[in-house]
Amino acid sequence: MTVLIGYVPTSVGEAALEAGLAEAKAHGDDVVILNSPRRRSTVDGELIDSTAADELVARAAAQGVAARVDQTDHGDDIVETFARIAEATSARLVVIGLRRRSPVGKLVTGSDAQRLLLDLDTPILAVKPAR
């Protein structure tokens, strides 16, 4: 089976990565680390380079977990990208990180995490970074 981890190079992404690797190790799963650029984005601070991708794979390997990084362009809908990759990899679990936001911030801007929780058919583990 596979664990699909949503990753961005922040404390939120690190929390998701650590939780996802722990789940994969505990259940003998492989990991796909999704680090997806926005369509037509020439500069994306959430996109990691090949060196960082290799480091993530090495971190997984150090824990005995086989991993690969997927940098599929998510275009306008990250939820669709997660759904497509979860189906293609037969993911048993999706792991995402959650940012801490105020109730007003959630109301005004919405949330990709909320849409994932509501729309994705695959079970989801949502984690927050430690304070």
pLDDT at 42 over 60: no
Start-to-end CA distance of the chain, whole Å, equals 32
pTM value is 0.88
Confidence of residue 131 (pLDDT cuts 50, 70, 90): confident
Domain locations in the chain? Answer: 2-127
Of residues 73 and 15, the one with the higher pLDDT is 15
Q: Which CATH architecture has domain 2-127?
A: 3-Layer(aba) Sandwich (3.40)
Residue 9 has a pLDDT of 92
What secondary structure does DSSP assign to the chain, as a single string?
-EEEEE--SSHHHHHHHHHHHHHHHHHT-EEEEE-PPBTT-S--TT---HHHHHHHHHHHHHTT--EEEE----BT-HHHHHHHHHHHHTEEEEEEE-----HHHHHHH--HHHHHHHH--S-EEEE----
The rounded distance, in Å, linking the Cα atoms of 83 and 103 is 27
Which residue, among 31, 112, 119, has the nearest Cα to 69 in the 3D structure? 31
Residue 76 has a pLDDT of 75
pLDDT tens profile 72-123: 877 778 889 999 999 999 999 999 998 876 665 555 445 788 888 889 999 9
